[in-house]
């Protein structure tokens, strides 16, 4: 069973074994507005925790998507190229950005659980 972690930058990572599915939270897509373009990384790219992993552009702004943990990109959601609105429709479902092989699972300890993330949202709301 996968476990979901959240960053203060509103990324999530659903972890199953050593693989993490990364995207932005429903809160983040709501703040961005209509997503019109997603720039995804190349498969095989190695990213460090906190480094830019992708870029999402909306009618309001362009925003970097940061890697919640370090690892290498093993798959990207190619469907977003043709239908970036999937991010708005199902940010934590079909609107995921990338899958990564996690290189240091201890980094997950620096992220928030869903309950902690909901409390965090209350503190910034």
Domain count of the fold of the chain: 1
Q: What CATH number is attached to the domain comprising 52?
A: 2.40.50.100
Q: Is the pTM of this model over 0.75?
A: yes
For residue 30, pLDDT beyond 90: yes
Cα gap 63→37, rounded to integer Å:
11
Task: Report the candidate in 76, 68, 97, 49 with the shortest Cα–Cα distance to residue 4.
Answer: 68
pLDDT tens string 43-95: 999 999 999 999 999 999 999 999 999 999 999 999 999 999 999 999 999 99
Q: How high is the pLDDT of residue 2?
A: 77
Q: How high is the pLDDT of residue 1?
A: 66
In-domain check, residue 123:
no
Block residue for tokens 């050593």: 18
Confidence label for 40 from pLDDT (cuts 50, 70 and 90): very high
Instruction: Provide mean pLDDT across the span 32-51.
Output: 97
In-domain check, residue 102:
yes
Q: Which domain holds residue 36?
A: 3-106
Please give the structure tokens belonging to residue 76.
């990207």
């Amino acid at each position: 069973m996968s476990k979901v972690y959240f960053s203060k930058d509103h990324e999530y990572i659903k972890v199953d074994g050593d693989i993490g599915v990364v995207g932005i939270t429903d809160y983040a897509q709501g703040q961005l507005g209509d997503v019109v373009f997603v720039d995804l990384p190349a498969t095989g790219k190695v990213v460090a925790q906190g480094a830019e992993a992708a870029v999402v552009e909306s009618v309001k702004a362009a925003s970097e998507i940061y890697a919640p943990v370090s690892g290498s990109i093993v798959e990207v959601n190619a469907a977003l190229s043709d239908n970036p609105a999937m991010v708005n429709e199902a940010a934590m479902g079909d609107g995921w950005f990338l899958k990564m092989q996690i290189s240091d699972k201890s980094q997950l300890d620096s992220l928030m659980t869903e309950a902690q993330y909901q409390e965090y949202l209350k503190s910034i709301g």
